[in-house]
Structure 1
Amino acid sequence: MLPLPEGEFDAYLFDCDGTIADSMPLHYVAWQRALAEWGAEFPEELFYAWGGRTPVAVIQELNAQQGLAMPVELVNKRREQIFEELLPGVTAVPEVLEHIEAAYGKVPFAVVSGSSRESVTASLTALGLLDRFEVMVCAGEYLNGKPDPECFLIAAEALGAAPSRCVVFEDAELGLQAAAAAGMAAVRVPPPWQRRAGTAAD
């Protein structure tokens, strides 16, 4: 099991993609297929480096970088549609599922994601975990995306927990920066290739 930081915690806040759901490889396939229709490139390394950004911000940045004029909402809808078609293949990240099962009913949980509420709901439903989370804070429900702490602070307030008494589970660097900015402890969830190696690097 991934070790928790020292201290007592009143709430657990989880990112969804790459943290609860081992869905990043599926998301990347969905991005590739949706963007290919517009001739855009999105290298896998960049996809993981940009983890935590909202899809709208990603499309806008790719447009700017590659001199494209992809219609943001249309491309985002197409990406979501492809992802939902791939979703039956999603699995939970085992090391995070252990924490969910061990602490469920003892501490309140929230999901804090840069993905849409529809996407997060679909992932958690596919995993049979939707009923575990009292609060969801998703894209479009806060102004400033990670690394800004806003989304985590909204979740803490909704759960009635002081930020210093929350622990965040995150796989993305931007999310870990947001947790630190919120004054919260954090557990880094290793990327798929480190977990598959059998020894997650600290």
Structure 2
Amino acid sequence: MLPFHSEIVRFLERHHYQRVTPRAALIDMDGTLYDSMKNHTASWYRLISEAGIPCTRDEFYLYEGRTGASTINALVNRAWGRDATDEEKTEMYHKKTVYFNELPPVEPMPGAFEMLNLLKEMGLRRVLVTGSGQNSLLSRIDTDFPGIFDPGMRVTARDVKHGKPHPEPFIRAMQLARVSP
């Protein structure tokens, strides 16, 4: 039996489909392609603690996929009862990036390249969909996963107004892949 067979059957029945033929795969970066969450949580915790905002390191796992600006705004709002200014967002995210880059480099997730190659062999369009704007990782994608993502097939924090979990990044990715949900 195929993995997830029962879930696929329920999906088909619920939507009255005979079959479904995926044409694209929307692929996250942090925690999917790279084992980077431990570095993200450490750098976020350091930044936000230094800013005097009470937090725990583990809570930053809950913000995974959000843009840096969105995360900063949520935390400033929680602590100080107001939105973060654009200057605060820019300065704080820059500092978070510096802290992230001071940590040991992250490695690709085991099996990620094999998964991506399988999707490519199956003929699915691959679109990177990440809430990150972390250049230290984004610049490694083509080196670590050569030939996987065609030019222009990326949606990052810089490409959207609303990061995950908002649907905007996914809608944008589907438009790039020329598919519908």
The aligned counterpart of 2:174 is: 156
Gaps of 5+ in 2: 9-19
Residue from 98, 113, 118 that aligns with 1:81: 98
Matches within 5 A, 1:60-79: 60-67=73-80, 71-79=88-96
Give the drift of 1:13: 0.7
The aligned counterpart of 1:133 is: 149
For the residues of structure 2 that align with 1:130 and 1:83, how far apart are their CA atoms? Answer: 24
The aligned counterpart of 1:178 is: none
Q: TM-score, normalised by structure 1?
A: 0.67
CA contact (8 A) 1:21 1:123 kept: no
CA contact (8 A) 1:144 1:150 kept: yes
For the residues of structure 2 that align with 1:44 and 1:35, how far apart are their CA atoms? Answer: 10
CA contact (8 A) 1:87 1:123 kept: no
For the residues of structure 2 that align with 1:41 and 1:98, how far apart are their CA atoms? Answer: 40
Structure 1 or 2, whichever has the larger Rg, is 2
Tell whether 2:66 aligns with 1:53: yes
The aligned counterpart of 2:44 is: 31
The aligned counterpart of 2:127 is: 110
Counterparts in 2 of 1:114 and 1:51: CA distance versus 1, 3 Å = same
For the residues of structure 2 that align with 1:16 and 1:83, how far apart are their CA atoms? Answer: 15
CA contact (8 A) 2:66 2:164 kept: yes
Residue from 146, 154, 161 that aligns with 2:164: 146
Deviations 1:147-182 (A, max 9, x none): 22221111111122222xxxxxxxxxxxxxxxxxxx
Matches within 5 A, 1:89-100: 90-100=106-116
Give the drift of 1:119: 4.9
Gaps of 5+ in 1: 164-202
Give the drift of 1:19: 1.6
For the residues of structure 1 that align with 2:158 and 2:173, how far apart are their CA atoms? Answer: 14
Counterparts in 2 of 1:123 and 1:24: CA distance versus 1, 3 Å = farther
Give the drift of 1:138: 0.8
CA contact (8 A) 1:21 1:124 kept: no
Percentage of pairs with the same residue: 29
Counterparts in 2 of 1:151 and 1:138: CA distance versus 1, 3 Å = same
